[in-house]
Amino acid sequence: DAGVIQSPRHEVTEMGQEVTLRCKPISGHDYLFWYRQTMMRGLELLIYFNNNVPIDDSGMPEDRFSAKMPNASFSTLKIQPSEPRDSAVYFCASSFGTSYEQYFGPGTRLTVT
Amino acid sequence: GQNIDQPTEMTATEGAIVQINCTYQTSGFNGLFWYQQHAGEAPTFLSYNVLDGLEEKGRFSSFLSRSKGYSYLLLKELQMKDSASYLCAPTTDSWGKFQFGAGTQVVVTP
């Protein structure tokens, strides 16, 4: 298996622009997680899905952030409008059940200028 | 809210043993994960403890005491490649959602 795939790997955008991050989980996994990692705040869970349904989005910072999972093999995290404080590495991870290890994608490094 | 406490940094020499402690207070606990993260890379799974006691996996072992809200990760026969951040992550609800600690940076010296 190719593992969790994320795109793009790097994104540089200007404040106010819309940013869309993409994730393809490992085939057969029923949980998908979106994380954000910064030096100041560490690794934070933003939202997670079970069988394509959002279970907990309490970690989403504000209404500028939204996430969707239209099918079992694809998810997006959108930031609109983006701000410099959104600069971080965004990881997507998937797992089979919650009592099993999560496999992380390589991350998207977002820089908002 | 959740509270996870682990040391910021630990230094040890090659071949030595290091124990990384983690204490936590969560509103709903099912188990605790340990992840390793090398600089610039994604976290990778090391262990998952559900029951009290020690789980051993080669050079790495993880211990859990549910009543004490305490876990440790033991790294034996340290190698240079073990230099990384180690993240403690207790679950926080019945769905299995979990929260990562800030991580312990382990520096292995020759």
Q: Do A27 and A43 contact (CB within 8 A), yes or no? A: no
The confidence score (pLDDT) of residue B29 equals 83
Question: Half-sphere exposure of residue B34, counting CA atoms within 13 Å on the CB side?
Answer: 28
Cα torsion B42, A30, A21, A43 to 10°: value is -40
The confidence score (pLDDT) of residue B60 equals 96
The confidence score (pLDDT) of residue A83 equals 96
A10: part of which helix (H) or strand (E)? strand A10-13
Split at pLDDT 50, 70, 90, the class of B27 is confident
Q: Report the alpha-carbon distance of residue A76 to residue A24 in Å, rounded.
A: 9
Which residues of chain A are within 8 Å of residue B33 when distances are taken between CB atoms? Answer: 101-102
Among B33, B87, B97, select the one facing A45 at the smallest CB separation: B97
Supply φ then ψ for residue B101, to 5 degrees: -75, 175
Q: What single DSSP character describes residue A102?
A: P
Q: Report the alpha-carbon distance of residue B43 to residue B27 in Å, rounded.
A: 24
The confidence score (pLDDT) of residue A1 equals 64
Inter-chain CB proximity A99 and B30 less than 8 Å? yes
Average pLDDT over residues A79-95: 96
Express each pLDDT in A16-62 by its tens digit.
Answer: 999 999 999 999 999 999 999 999 889 999 999 999 999 989 999 88
Task: List the single best residue of A23, A94, A99, A108 to mutate versus B (max B Cβ within 10 A).
Answer: A99
Task: Tell whether A43 lies on the interface with B, counting CB pairs under 8 A.
Answer: yes
Inter-chain CB proximity A43 and B103 less than 8 Å? yes
Among B30, B42, B101, select the one facing A104 at the smallest CB separation: B42
Inter-chain CB proximity B100 and A97 less than 8 Å? no
The mean pLDDT of chain B is 92
Express each pLDDT in B62-75 by its tens digit.
Answer: 999 999 999 999 99
For residue B38 the two structure tokens come to: 């090398």
